[in-house]
Amino acid sequence: MNKKMVLMALLLVSVAAAVSGTDFEERITEKKWYRDYFNEVIYRKDRNIIVEYQPYLTEEENIIFYNAIGVIFWFDEPSIYRDRINWTKFDDSEYGSYISMRGGGFSCKAKELNPDLYELEIEDVRISQEKYEDLLARGHDRKFALDATEPGYSLYFRFDGEYLYIYLEDGKTLYATYCAYDESEEEALYEAIRTNEFDMTKITFPRHADGTCDYESGGGVPGKKIVNGVYRAKDNLRLRETGSISGKAITTMQAGSLVLILSKGREETIDGITDNWVQVETLFGAIDTEEKLIQGEVGWCFSGYLK
């Protein structure tokens, strides 16, 4: 079995073969997709968080510059700090589309694997050391492109409501997360960053496909844990057949694996933590301690070890 067949088997698990055609272009262009750290900017109401993710903004020539009008600071001009996905279709050739993500991009073609999962085959992923260092300063660690010895590569894009997760070619390493903004929210974001004043009636936090939100809308405070939310395992965590420490272990998820909470069970105190047992389903990218993908496993775990 060649590399491509192995990757497809891992990614699709029990899903049928990829369907022909794709609506990826429509989905990627109907909203403005910004890196998820802009949620933190809004939540903490502090534009300077952008500098933490884009260190090059601290360089003197980027903090302030001059034009015909006068002095401009980095936060006055969105093109200086904007970190979003841009998609351009040039023609109908095999690699006639181009996707850019903060200062660099790829000629590519999209293939739909299931209704929310797409493979982007890249014509040539390779970059120079100089380009790698420039992108790193802009908040993008493209080590995978620096290390590439061959032109071709695939990235996997998974839509989850107003979230977009991008995985590397192995299908389990999360490269970046983006969130959707409409045009009015984008303008409100720019104004908030320019003034460092945040009108929470104009900006809403993104929601997952199941309707849950990681933040309480309008308040700028973290949302409370609720049933049907999407969470990560804090550490390696056993998935059991029943909601009890004595329940038979199904598998052990690695720390960081994503799960969808399906229902809530009884409350218990374990290791000094009082919380509920929850029935969950492991999501795309979840792996066990042997590095195997375990998407679609359903079982119980202690929610005190989720975040």
> Model-level pTM?
0.66
What does the pLDDT average to over 99-118?
A: 90
pLDDT digits (tens, 9 = 90+) for 48-67: 999 888 888 876 555 555 55
- Higher confidence at residue 76 or residue 13? 76
What does the pLDDT average to over 130-156?
A: 92
d(CA 250, CA 242): 10
Task: Output the pLDDT for position 62.
Answer: 54
Task: Output the pLDDT for position 214.
Answer: 74
When pLDDT is cut at 50, 70 and 90, the band that residue 10 belongs to is very low
Is 151 within 8 Å of 126 (Cβ atoms)? yes
d(CA 205, CA 216): 8
- Higher confidence at residue 16 or residue 307? 307
User: Any bridge partners for residue 201, and if so which?
Assistant: none
Residues above pLDDT 70, as percent of the chain: 83
Task: Output the pLDDT for position 9.
Answer: 44
| Tokens, residue 178 | 């983006």
Neighbours of 19 (CB within 10 A): 11
